[in-house]
Copies of this chain bind each other. A is one copy, B any other.
């Protein structure tokens, strides 16, 4: 592995006076090499280069843009085992997970390349003029254009799929926006490898310099400076609620406010309806513990709250959950500070008067998490918002409800969520149907008889939800619909045909269009 420790600014590596090092997630040992902490000048240079490249990048043909995305995927694929090894050391995640995550990352890039070429995201609309009308109807043609350079914040919990070459980068590049990534300080080596791949892809496919930069830094000052740079037109972020709220605040106070897409926190309620609980308490307990312990619980879709109605079936579920969680081995967490926060927050949860721990996993080493499940009555849960607060890691809380009315009351009191899940047998369908309108206002994705971890990258996926699950529940961060976040409409009125963008010509195109009100494909 050959790491320079440098930032990437508009296609060129650049060092810095100040440096910082990553740590081995498992041992806490410092890892070589030292990484350059981006200076104010570096930030300005990267943003200025993005601003300068923006028009050229936006106006590339769609096949050229797609070729760049596919080349990014190929170059990331080509990093092979070097990437996995460095990501394992920096994140503590196991090899199989990171191999899978690399597949997800390159799959995302290729899916967005296909989406670029599909072209429907351009929202092409043509209304032909009519001079005989009073007043005369103008010729109007509309398309989506990119917002401008996007600042993407790498997430610690997906060092590949939601970091330098992850979902936000893929969707912003697909939309025609230049990207400046603020690398997560927990995995700068992983970031450098991926940024090298993207930089090589940009050079190979003749992209304008400035289409992509990576800036590293050990603290929050870098991110704040990036969001405040006047060239930046939007922000993509996955991380803590405090971090997301801070970025929203910065962005709203700019001279020109910009949209922030922050995916922040979610406890992902799971409802176990009575008939299904009775027929499958043990199966549900096994699925529940597997989902909450997956990846040391470090997923935004971790099932943090389970709602069920008191009775013998719930007692069976609790007993089986306690037995299953006792078998969970300690798992290294992403960073020491995440590990410390997990210990602090689970202790706080255990100290609440209404909470009782029903089971916990095996003893865990330093920097590793011990999975645990608590239980609380719905009355206590409703009375104190502390029970509903997200604990990042393998912790979950079962809420024991007296009846379906109280269960619904708990749901109605909850904040916005990424997901909500209902386990149901056919005999439970009437209750599920009654809960659905509540769930639709509270969550971005609603599951039946599954577990919320595992977010498929498809056309119909929504990974977003009402505040505070995200800063802006009108969009998704996963799946092809994400391209829409980084676009805005422009109408062209009576613009001469020969000066129109090619996509708005009358000549047939393969992209979906709406012509004089009629939807036409191909």
- Chain A: residues with CB nearer than 8 A to chain B? 54-55, 58-59, 118, 120, 123, 125-127, 135, 137-138, 140-142, 145, 147-148, 248-249, 252, 256-257, 259, 415-416, 424, 426, 429, 432-433, 436-437, 440-441, 443-450, 454, 456, 458-462, 464, 466-468, 471-476, 481, 487-496, 498-499, 512, 514, 516-517, 519-521
- CB neighbours (8 Å) of A468 from chain B are 256
CA A446 – CA B491 in complex, angstroms? 6
B467 lies within 8 A of A433 (CB): no
Q: A456-B140, A458-B137, A512-B519 are in contact. Are A55 and B445 (CB under 8 A)?
A: no
Q: Is the CB of A445 within 8 A of B514?
A: no
Contact A460-B494, Cβ < 8 Å, known A471-B257, A519-B521 = no
Question: For residue A135, which residue of chain B has the nearest CB?
Answer: B454
Asked whether A458 lies within 8 Å of B490 as measured between CB atoms, the reply is no
Residues of B within 8 A of A495 (CB): 446-448
Contact partners of A446 in chain B: CB under 8 A = 490-493, 495
Q: Inside 8 A of A491's CB, which chain B residues have their CB? A: 444-446, 460-462
**Smallest CB gap from A438: residue in B:** B55
Which of A58, A424, A458 has the most B CB atoms < 10 Å from its CB?
A458
Is A494's CB under 8 angstroms from B449's CB? yes
**What would be 20 A-B contacts, judged by CB atoms less than 8 Å apart?**
A120-B519, A137-B456, A138-B447, A140-B460, A142-B459, A142-B461, A148-B441, A249-B252, A252-B252, A256-B466, A444-B491, A445-B491, A446-B490, A448-B496, A450-B493, A459-B516, A473-B488, A474-B489, A512-B512, A512-B519
A440-B145, A489-B464 known; A458 vs B140 contact (CB < 8 Å) = yes
Q: Using Cβ atoms and an 8 Å threshold, which residues of chain B touch A493?
A: 445-448, 450
Question: B494 to A450, Cβ gap below 8 A?
Answer: yes
Chain B contacts of A54 at CB under 8 A?
A: 441
Interchain CB contact under 8 A, B252 and A461:
no
Which residues on B sit within 8 Å (CB–CB) of A120? 514, 519
In the A-B complex, the 6 residue pairs with the closest CB atoms: A140-B460, A125-B460, A462-B491, A142-B460, A447-B493, A127-B460
Measured between beta carbons, the chain B residues less than 8 angstroms from A257 are: 248, 467, 471
Q: How far is the CA of A137 from the CA of B456 in the complex (A)?
A: 7
CB distance from A353 to the nearest CB of B (A): 26
Q: A406 CA to B198 CA in the complex, in Å?
A: 37
Q: Which of B142, B424, B443, B467 makes the CB contact (< 8 A) with A462?
A: B142
The verdict on A437 contacting B59 (CB below 8 Å), with A257-B467, A447-B494, A488-B466 known, is: yes
Whether the pair A489, B512 counts as a contact (CB closer than 8 A) is no
* Partner among B472, B475, B487, B499 whose Cβ is within 8 Å of the Cβ of A436: B499
Tell me if B248 and A252 are in contact (CB < 8 A): yes
Q: Is the CB of A489 within 8 A of B517?
A: no
> What chain B residues lie within 8 Å of A464 (beta carbons)?
488-489
- Assess whether B467 is in contact with A489, with CB atoms less than 8 Å apart: no
- A361: min CB distance to chain B, Å: 24
A68 to B251, CA, bound (A): 39
A467→B234 CA distance, assembly (Å): 13
Known contacts A257-B471, A429-B496; 9 further A-B pairs (Cβ under 8 A): A58-B437, A147-B474, A429-B498, A436-B499, A445-B492, A450-B494, A464-B488, A474-B489, A475-B489
Q: Given the complex of chains A and B, what is the CA–CA distance between A491 and B148 in angstroms?
A: 28
A143 to chain B, nearest CB (A): 9
Residue of B nearest to A125 (CB): B460
A437-B55, A440-B145, A519-B521 given as contacts; is B474 within 8 A of A487 (CB)?
Answer: yes
In contact, B490 and A444 (Cβ under 8 angstroms): yes
Q: How far is the CA of A475 from the CA of B127 in the complex (A)?
A: 18
Minimum Cβ distance to chain B for residue A363 (Å): 30
Tell whether, in the assembled complex, residue B474 and residue A488 are in contact, meaning their CB atoms are under 8 Å apart. yes
Minimum distance in angstroms from A243 CB to a CB of chain B? 16
CA distance A448 to B495 in the complex (A): 5
B residues near A424, Cβ cutoff 8 Å: 496
User: Bound state CA distance, A163 and B481, in angstroms?
Assistant: 33
Given the complex of chains A and B, what is the CA–CA distance between A454 and B133 in angstroms?
A: 14
For the complex, give the distance between the alpha carbons of A406 and B516 in Å. 39
Complex CA gap A447/B499 in Å reads 12
A162 to B127, CA, bound (A): 23
* Shortest CB distance A249–B (Å): 8
- How near does chain B come to A60, taking the closest CB pair, in angstroms? 13
Are the C-beta atoms of A514 and B459 separated by less than 8 Å? Answer: yes
Centre residue among A126, A488, A517 by max chain B CB count within 10 A: A488
Residues of B within 8 A of A494 (CB): 447-450
Would you give the shortest CB distance from A161 to chain B, in whole angstroms?
A: 14
Across the two chains, which residue of chain B brings its CB closest to A133? Answer: B456
Contacts of A449 in B (CB 8 A): 494
Assembly CA distance A237 to B142 (angstroms)? 23
Chain B residue nearest in CB terms to A429: B499
Q: Contact between B474 and A259 (Cβ–Cβ < 8 Å)?
A: yes
State the CA gap A467–B135 with chains docked (Å).
30
